[in-house]
Structure 1
Amino acid sequence: MLASAQTLGRAAPAHRASRRCSKVTCSAAVSTPTTLSPSQRIAFKSDPSYTFAPIINGCWQLAGGHGNEVFNGIGEKLESHAAAGLTTYDTADIYGPSEEILGQFQRAHAAAGGAPVQIFTKYVPNIFQQRPTPASVEAAVRRSLAKLQVDKLDLVQMHWWDYGIPGMADAALALADLQAKGLIRFVGTTNMDTQALAKIVDAGVDVAVNQVQFSLLDRRPLNGMVQYCSERGIKIFAYGSVGGGLLSDRYYEAPKPPGLFGGKPRYNSFDLNTSSLKMYWNVCKQFGGQDLWRELLEVLNTIAQKHNVSIANVSVRWIMQQGDGKTVYPLVGLRGTRHIADNLRALSLQLDAEDNAAIEQVLSKSKGPTGDCYSFERGN
């Protein structure tokens, strides 16, 4: 994810799988995957011996715009997630001091005899100022190596801001060359649409993963990306899976009756107090606005109570069950430690046909966002 955040809501109180086509999306066939646990690991297609956690800790809050409290006790926060089995962290070369913080953490964690952790980063060149060359790509990779204090980067995911600027496939091939030299273990992409991803794959790059926004509010990956990746063994890392918290218990509330003069049910006002919430609210407006979002939360709350889980769990599990059930894995913002136990419950949850039918009834009313991944963000 690029410079945005998500915060899972508080845990809920103990309290059809089918091919579907709507006005906005047509999904790939939905399977019923087996449940997971943190001890179960996921592998990229090219190396089954290297594995990562089924929920990935997103560290984009360290890019700024989310308050200084994000940095308070960051070492303990990182360690607590690893101790719970969530050993995989996602960062980027543009996320402020994130790479340095993770490098220091990994070094201390290993010195203390901790289990291996995985740190995934990104290569985000400023293509508006300078076209990447093999030398500049290598220089960027070596900067990340130094900050993360490692000899080989686990995964480098390339972003390309504007498809109209040439050089995208060449930059990805430069990363592949560095992979062949042993500086990178896996090469991936982020925010690529299906056509751009296919261009990179067809150029000969062994793409392990594409990281894109994917949630009940933003189903654009179902417009081709999920099917493309499932067929080729490419993983999808999904950021925004709970819409910055919009798809969590934090924002669920029973509607207040209309006022004396009638009208729609009323809800409390809320503060879009982070850069991520502002971004996801724009997505929510394209989804259908406050009324449809509130209707979705009501359905998600009913499902959450049925399974004794949180709304965030239902939201996360829904994306994991798309496609073949073995392709999509969520990134969850690492903001604190109080949501760790709740996050893990998403792995053992299984949404049934009744749950999916209830969700689909709401989704069928949605008008957007339309297009492929990261489309309107690029002005398409």
Structure 2
Amino acid sequence: MSTLPDVDRPHWQADPARFTRQRYPHSGRSGLKLGNIALGLWHNFGGGDDEAMARRVLRRAIDQGIIHLDLANNYGPPPGSAETLLGKVLKQDLAGLRDELIISTKAGYQMGPEPHGDGGSRKYLFTSLDQSLKRLQLDRVDIFYHHRPDPSTPLEETMGALDAIVRSGRALYVGLSNYPAPLLRHAASLLRQLGTPCVIHQPRYNLFDRGPENGLLDALVDEGIGCIPFSPLAQGMLTDRYLDGKIPEGSRASKAGTFLKPEMITDTVLQRVRALQLIAQERGQPLAGMAVRWLMQRPAVCSVLIGASRPSQVDEAIAAARAPALSEAELGAIEAACAL
């Protein structure tokens, strides 16, 4: 049973012991500390979601020592609604806590039909961030990311815009997301020359998606940039939800507008999940927790970005971060299970 205060109490206040519940390693070679676990508002915080539950999740995240809340201009749906919700919660439930929080947002995906409603141009990045700040009811964010590479805009323009945004006071740090290794190295070099180094990179990375191992993690280590993986549970496949091969009602795969499709849950995937589940059981840990703990031991990873639709999922992620490190034997068994 949780010893945390009840997040539903009428006059909620953040737990004074919250900063004892996880560690706060530096992001790469910067002074920025995000915490082992960060909360992403990609899902469950949109205009059509349960606002009361979203508030409960945010309260529990704070009580568990989570300080980093991650957004993007297009998070919702509809786009922008997650930022609007967090802006309200910052003024109400989380009033007085802004200075201890790391708030990040991003721009790079399409936000509108106008010529500068997408991409990496200086015009789009400044306009998008100004709109985000209005929705968040803030005068600055802590981290501003370029969300994805834009081959139609010179990289020098995009990195110059990120540098100018920091110098304007709209953001304290800059990050990149979804950049492949060679482009990340080039972008990091440009930002370093400008005097605004890249401190964090956000790739999709989990036991089933090993793309960052093809040079990206090495680049992050070399450049001194922290890694904060998103989708650590492979959109829910690295849980016990699909072990019987069925799609439970209310699961990620049962909903429209998600990247996880029922046809992705193949016999091979199920075989791997079942093998991983056995390893997790031997550790006395849920599969989801083991998947998070595995990421924490990867090169350059300074934080793991989770999603949560209820407070108990926040508790589970914090428990995973506090679990014993995976042994060499367990890591070997995990690799064998993923190769089935």
Q: Which runs of 5 or more residues in structure 1 are unaligned?
A: 1-35, 254-266, 366-380
Which residue identity does 1:212 align to in structure 2? P
Which residue identity does 2:69 align to in structure 1? Y
2:84 corresponds to which residue?
A: 100
Question: Which of 280, 283, 289 is the equivalent residue of 1:313?
Answer: 289
**Is the 2:159–2:191 contact (alpha carbons within 8 Å) kept by the matching residues of 1?**
no
CA positional deviation for 1:162? 4.4
Q: How does 1:1-380 map to 2 (within 5 A)?
A: 38-45=21-28, 47-48=30-31, 50-62=32-44, 68-95=48-75, 96=79, 97-111=81-95, 116-124=100-108, 126=110, 129-130=115-116, 133-160=121-148, 162-163=150-151, 165-205=152-192, 206-253=197-244, 267-268=245-246, 272-275=253-256, 278-281=258-261, 285=264, 290-323=266-299, 326-349=300-323, 350-365=325-340
CA positional deviation for 1:135? 4.4
After TM superposition, the score normalised by the length of structure 1 is: 0.72
* Secondary structure at the counterpart of residue 186 of structure 1: strand
**Is the 2:166–2:174 contact (alpha carbons within 8 Å) kept by the matching residues of 1?**
yes
* Secondary structure at the counterpart of residue 77 of structure 1: helix
- Residues 125 and 216 (structure 1 numbering): CA distance in 2 closer, same or farther, change over 3 Å? closer
Which residue identity does 1:246 align to in structure 2? M
Which residue identity does 1:117 align to in structure 2? L
CA positional deviation for 1:225? 0.6
1: CA distance between counterparts of 2:198 and 2:214?
20
CA positional deviation for 1:185? 0.6
RMSD: 2.8
- Residues 364 and 46 (structure 1 numbering): CA distance in 2 closer, same or farther, change over 3 Å? closer
- Residues 189 and 115 (structure 1 numbering): CA distance in 2 closer, same or farther, change over 3 Å? closer
- Residues 37 and 299 (structure 1 numbering): CA distance in 2 closer, same or farther, change over 3 Å? farther
- Residues 173 and 150 (structure 1 numbering): CA distance in 2 closer, same or farther, change over 3 Å? same
After TM superposition, the score normalised by the length of structure 2 is: 0.80
2: CA distance between counterparts of 1:190 and 1:224?
15
Which residue identity does 1:57 align to in structure 2? L
- Residues 151 and 347 (structure 1 numbering): CA distance in 2 closer, same or farther, change over 3 Å? same
* Secondary structure at the counterpart of residue 355 of structure 1: helix
- Residues 317 and 135 (structure 1 numbering): CA distance in 2 closer, same or farther, change over 3 Å? same
**Is the 2:45–2:85 contact (alpha carbons within 8 Å) kept by the matching residues of 1?**
no
- Residues 114 and 178 (structure 1 numbering): CA distance in 2 closer, same or farther, change over 3 Å? closer
Q: Following TM superposition, where does structure 1 have runs of at least 4 consecutive aligned residues deviating by more than 6 angstroms? A: none
2: CA distance between counterparts of 1:124 and 1:231?
25
2: CA distance between counterparts of 1:158 and 1:344?
28
- Residues 42 and 109 (structure 1 numbering): CA distance in 2 closer, same or farther, change over 3 Å? farther
- Residues 113 and 140 (structure 1 numbering): CA distance in 2 closer, same or farther, change over 3 Å? closer
- Give the % identical residues: 21
CA positional deviation for 1:62? 4.8
- Residues 208 and 148 (structure 1 numbering): CA distance in 2 closer, same or farther, change over 3 Å? same
CA positional deviation for 1:112? 5.2
- Higher RCO, 1 or 2 (CA under 8 Å, sep at least 6)? 1
* Secondary structure at the counterpart of residue 179 of structure 1: helix
* Secondary structure at the counterpart of residue 138 of structure 2: coil
**Is the 2:53–2:309 contact (alpha carbons within 8 Å) kept by the matching residues of 1?**
no
